[in-house]
Amino acid sequence: MFLKQRLDDRKSGLTLLLLFVLILAPISAACMNLDFLQPTNETLVRAVVMLTHSAGPEGFLLTLILLMLWTGWRVRATKAEWLNKAIQLGILLVLAVGMKSGLKKMTESPRPYTEAMTQALILPSPEHFYKLDRSQQLAVMDEMADQVSPARIESWKKETDYSFPSGHTVFATLCLAFFGGILLEQQRRASAVVLLMWSASIGFSRLWLGMHRPADLLGAAILVGVLYFVVPRRYPLAEKLLGRVLPQAR
């Protein structure tokens, strides 16, 4: 009974996550035979980099603010309901970031671009990249400058940690489940679909730039799905405190 009730309560967000996973199949197929050593249009690469920044350290805060404003405009809720949602979102973000970092250290999966470096005979193996210090890692990337798009290399230089799971995809799918779930519950289907397409495009950008494999994206979606299912949606103590401060919010 408990599991069924929780599934029903989170049906919209989990449905969007399932759709994201299904979309991963054609996205992965499209990126299957990418060769990072082939010439690439620099303008296209920079456009994809800008897209991926919307779910990364450079732009995640702006993305969060925009999603909060959009959801606040499209969805009707009481102050107590918004408080519950804010607490849930905060807990989801903290847990997702912490578990993502922990999984990266546990799995130690090399990023796909290290395979391109091995193919170019810059590295003896992908694993060797992680035995180098920061300055050495940047130096071997510079050796690829005449073979790989400069924008791609700059993107690689910013992320020299391990690959699994994809942090950008963790953020994108968390936004999809949380904000998309709220929007879908309120019958804001068009907004939810736009959010689904954005999250899928983030997944595509991570594959196309050579930062991740399909398994990294799938792992991110599963991690978010588990957290979204487990983290409560109501916080009675917080509601009680809000009621004392703002009695009309009850």
pLDDT in tens, 206-222: 999 999 999 999 999 99
What length does the chain have?
250
Determine the pLDDT at residue 197.
98
Q: How far is CA 176 from CA 26, 68, 119, 172, in A?
A: 19, 12, 36, 6
DSSP summary character for residue 224: H
Determine the pLDDT at residue 246.
63
Give 102's Cβ-side CA count (13 Å radius).
7
Q: Which residues, at least 6 apart from 97, have a Cβ–Cβ distance to it below 8 Å?
A: 167, 170
Q: How far is CA 59 from CA 5, 49, 64, 171, 238, in A?
A: 35, 11, 9, 11, 30
Cα 161 to the chain's mean position, in Å? 16
Decide if 104 contacts 171 (C-beta within 8 A): no
Decide if 217 contacts 164 (C-beta within 8 A): no
Tell whether the model's pLDDT for residue 205 goes beyond 90. Answer: yes
Sign of CA dihedral 110, 116, 117, 123: positive
* Mean pLDDT, residues 83-103: 96
Best CA proximity match to 151, nearest among 204, 205, 220, 114 = 205
Structure tokens that stand for 186 in this block:
């309120």
Please provide the distance, in angstroms rounded to a whole number, between the alpha carbons at the two ends of the chain: 28
- Residue 128 burial by CB count (10 A; 0-12/13-18/19+): exposed, middle or buried? middle
Q: Which residues, at least 6 apart from 182, have a Cβ–Cβ distance to it below 8 Å?
A: 12, 71, 75, 85
Q: Is the peptide bond before 165 cis (omega within 30 degrees of 0)?
A: yes
Angle, vertex CA 214, rays to CA 91 and CA 199, nearest 5: 50
Angle, vertex CA 176, rays to CA 250 and CA 243, nearest 5: 10
Decide if 199 contacts 175 (C-beta within 8 A): yes
Quote the mean pLDDT of the chain: 92
Helix axes 42-53, 189-208, angle to 10 degrees: 120
Most confident by average pLDDT, 30-39, 136-145, 165-174, 230-239: 165-174
Structural domain spans, the chain: 42-109+162-233
Q: How far is CA 96 from CA 20, 92, 93, 170, 172, in A?
A: 18, 6, 5, 7, 11
Q: Write out pLDDT tens, residues 6-55.
A: 888 899 999 999 999 999 999 999 998 888 888 888 899 999 999 999 99
